[in-house]
Amino acid sequence: MPDRIRLDGKVAVVTGAAGIIGTATIHLLAERGARVVAVDRREQDLQTAIKDLPASAQALAITADVTREDEVAEYVRAVLDKFGTVDVFYNNAGIEGDVAPITKYSLETFRRVLDVNVVGVFLGLKHVLPVMLKQNKGSIINTASIAGRIGSPQVAVYSASKHAVIGLTKSAALECTATGVRVNCVCPGLIDSRMLSAIIEGRNPGNAPVPNDKIVERIPARRLGQASEVASVVAFLASDEASYVSGSAYTVDGGRTAS
């Protein structure tokens, strides 16, 4: 059967592209035929992330901080200068912040987490939506988390920020009523990644590593997810196969939040 989730010729902008999920996604989108713009604040890692992309991706790497409105406006302008359009926007950059109970959580980190995870997503929407609304087409996918659906001890601020991403997603989808622009989000669960390890270690400081069996015991799939499995859902939402999907939060968690 031919692969129906094709993105041939679409211009896809991905933030947090130097991270594990962002990198997996730029590679999958390119494999499906998209041209790719990779955005991250870590310049060196961004270069590594785009290194093996196929020539057909016409990859453009842009170093930018998603919390800086001037830098967001600038990367959108650079994409338009090079490609003339934005068809897909994966608004994905995020940080976990500290791992600590609310009573010990610093206000400075609270503000930083909201700045990246909420203000960053908001600024991306603010500057990409006008481009898509003008052309009356486009697909935006934000990265929330299962921590945006349920509480998560010691990462309460991260959880609050991801609840906000779901709210931004649904509201933006409504603001695109009667247009060809769709806005959705993905809610990854426990993905095999640096971020997950940091959270697990932060909850067990100074103790022996938590055995894998213990980590996965509440996941019906009985394993961690892979970044590529998040990327697959992003590729679907980016594609015309998802033409009737908007305002949704797609959970990619091996069933972790099913009950």
Ligand X SMILES: NC(=O)c1ccc[n+]([C@@H]2O[C@H](COP(=O)([O-])OP(=O)(O)OC[C@H]3O[C@@H](n4cnc5c(N)ncnc54)[C@H](O)[C@@H]3O)[C@@H](O)[C@H]2O)c1
Count of alpha carbons within 13 Å of 29, Cβ hemisphere only? 35
Choose which of 29, 65, 118, 172 interacts with ligand X (CB under 6 A): 65
Show the binding pattern over residues 144-183: x = contacts ligand X (CB under 6 A), - = does not.
Answer: -x--------------------------------------
The nearer residue to ligand X, 94 or 138, going by C-beta atoms, is 94
Choose which of 120, 124, 138, 254 interacts with ligand X (CB under 6 A): 120
| Gyration radius of the chain's alpha carbons | 18
Cα distances (Å, whole numbers) of residue 21 to 16, 94, 154: 8, 11, 23
Helices 120-135/156-175 angle, 10° precision: 20
**Does 22 help bind ligand X (rule: CB under 6 A)?**
yes
Q: Helices (DSSP H) in the chain: which residue ranges?
A: 20-31, 43-50, 69-83, 107-114, 120-135, 156-175, 194-203, 212-216, 227-238
**Does 93 help bind ligand X (rule: CB under 6 A)?**
yes
Cα distances (Å, whole numbers) of residue 191 to 100, 121, 216: 20, 21, 11
Q: Which helix (H) or strand (E) holds 90?
A: strand 88-91
**Does 95 help bind ligand X (rule: CB under 6 A)?**
yes
Choose which of 6, 42, 82, 170 interacts with ligand X (CB under 6 A): 42
The nearer residue to ligand X, 3 or 108, going by C-beta atoms, is 108
Which residues are tagged catalytic? 158
Choose which of 37, 188, 249, 256 interacts with ligand X (CB under 6 A): 188
**Does 191 help bind ligand X (rule: CB under 6 A)?**
yes
Choose which of 11, 12, 14, 16 interacts with ligand X (CB under 6 A): 16
Tell me which residues touch ligand X (CB under 6 A). 15-16, 18-22, 40-42, 65-67, 92-95, 116, 120, 143, 145, 188, 190-191, 193-196
